Chains A and B, each alone.
Chain A
Amino acid sequence: MGPLIPDFISPEWNNIIAIVLGIAFGYVLESAGFSSSRKLVGVFYGYDFAVLRVFFTAAITASIGLLFMDYFGWVNMAALDGLPARVYPIIVGGIIMGLGFVTGGFCPGTCVTAIGIGKLDGYVFFGGIMIGVFVFSEMFPLLENFYNKSNLGDVSVPQYFNISPYWFMVGVSVIAIVAFYVTLQIRKRIKKVEY
């Protein structure tokens, strides 16, 4: 039963596996066009919805796959690393990240792919991330109370709303397909941007 580390694969392999998975992730991100800030922000101005399509397809593929593996007993989905639901800090942090997205044009993962193909704006963005992390860390004593606030723990959406995870995934997939169709119609009506 997964995860294979540490029971089936020795933890010494962990960092090598990290590099290999990183190479695969970086290759796909770059091939999808995510090293281009102008392509990425297209989703916010309606001229390119690649971010929405790639992101939703990836999340849905992974979670349906995990639900199957959980069902067959290959992995215990509840034991995997989730994101602790610290509701208000995530909302505040998310909105700040959204502002960073439309000003900087990247998110941390995509800026790393831009670094890989020599985009200087990607290098500068990464420098910015380090400044942001440094400022937060130095301010932490002031932010600590808020940071630990409203923590619901590592709870899943189906658990929280007490619904079946399978029906939840059906719902998410339907929403994604509708979003894919609607954005296709929007893009047809919006002036093309060359980038």
Chain B
Amino acid sequence: MKINPDKQHVYWNPYFAGFLMGIILLLTFYLTGRGLGASGAAKAIVTQTVHTVAPTHTENNTYYAEQFKGGKTPISNWLVFEVIGIVIGAFISGSLSGRAFFRVQHSPKITSRRRLWFALLGGALFGFGAQFAKGCTSGAALSGMAVLSLGGFIAMLSIFGGAYLFAYFFRKLWI
């Protein structure tokens, strides 16, 4: 199939995408009683890995142990399956628009090595911060706001507030 390269950077109208996303979130709550998320899958992978390497260690740490309560296995968490779905869905959408191929995306003013180091740092901060809030932008802020949770609104304000607070110092990474 020939893909038109001009289509690569054409994205949906944001309000249309937001509306569809809202409907999906609504359906998620109606079907399962819970919201969407992402960072929880990383937590499940980490906990399962640590448990495989050092089972007594996970039993002694309340944060890990909580995820095994009632004979559960963290890796069979709902979010792990949902995140696998996100990868598939993104691949389908990206393939149809000619965006699915391996590369590092970065501003022309920085090297890809620099981009990757900052991606690692940003990921670590996000993963660390998400544990305090019990969720990330999708799990805490978006899903929380959908059910009008006070916690969800506080999460949204602090994530975006925090980002605006520090944005100036990292502008050279992006513009």
Contacts and interface: CB of A to CB of B under 8 A. Distances in A.
The finding on whether chains A and B are genuine partners in a shared complex, rather than unrelated, reads yes
Interface of A: 2-5, 9, 14-33, 35-39, 41, 44-45, 47, 49-50, 53-63, 65-66, 69, 74-75, 77, 79-87, 89-122, 124-138, 140-141, 143-144, 147, 152, 154-160, 165, 168-169, 193, 195
Nearest to A81: B34
**Which of A85, A109, A135 gathers the greatest number of chain B CB atoms within 10 Å?**
A109
Given A112-B83, A124-B119, 15 more contacts: A3-B30, A22-B83, A24-B85, A38-B174, A63-B146, A66-B147, A81-B143, A82-B149, A97-B136, A112-B90, A113-B86, A117-B100, A128-B122, A135-B124, A140-B63
B127 A131 contact: yes
A120 B116 contact: yes
Interface of B: 9, 11-12, 14-15, 17-39, 41-43, 45-47, 50, 61-64, 76, 78-79, 81-95, 97, 99-107, 112, 115-116, 118-138, 140-167, 169-171, 173-175
Ranked 8 nearest A-B pairs via Cβ: A104-B122, A22-B85, A128-B123, A98-B162, A94-B158, A61-B22, A132-B127, A57-B18
Contact of B151 (A15, A65, A85): A85
A56 B25 CA distance: 13
Contacts, number: 531
Nearest to B106: A121
A168 B123 contact: no
A63 to B, nearest CB: 5
A195 B74 CA distance: 38
